[in-house]
């Protein structure tokens, strides 16, 4: 009886836990997407600068 009184609504508790994990997963995925876009952006800038550098070298 004491165990039941300590957790009156196990469903609510588990739902709250799921909500928290979903929230943290959402934040993590957003951060991953941001990192991915940042790295792609950096790569594009590097490619562009490399192309400009190669054009300058070959057509100087």
**pLDDT score, position 6:** 53
Asked whether the predicted pLDDT for residue 40 surpasses 60, the reply is yes
Q: 14 is in which domain, residue-wise? A: 2-58
Report the Cα 48 to chain-centroid distance in Å: 26
| DSSP symbol at 3 | H
Asked whether the predicted pLDDT for residue 28 surpasses 90, the reply is no
CA atoms within 13 A on the CB side of 32: 6
Domain count, the chain: 1
- Integer CA distances (angstroms), 3 to 9, 11, 12, in order: 11, 15, 16
């Amino acid at each position: 009886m004491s165990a039941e009184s300590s957790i009156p609504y196990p469903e609510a508790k588990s739902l709250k836990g799921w909500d928290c994990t979903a929230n943290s997963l959402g934040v993590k995925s957003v951060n991953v997407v941001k990192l991915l876009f940042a790295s792609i952006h950096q790569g594009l800038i590097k490619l562009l600068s490399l192309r400009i550098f190669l054009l300058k070298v070959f057509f100087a």
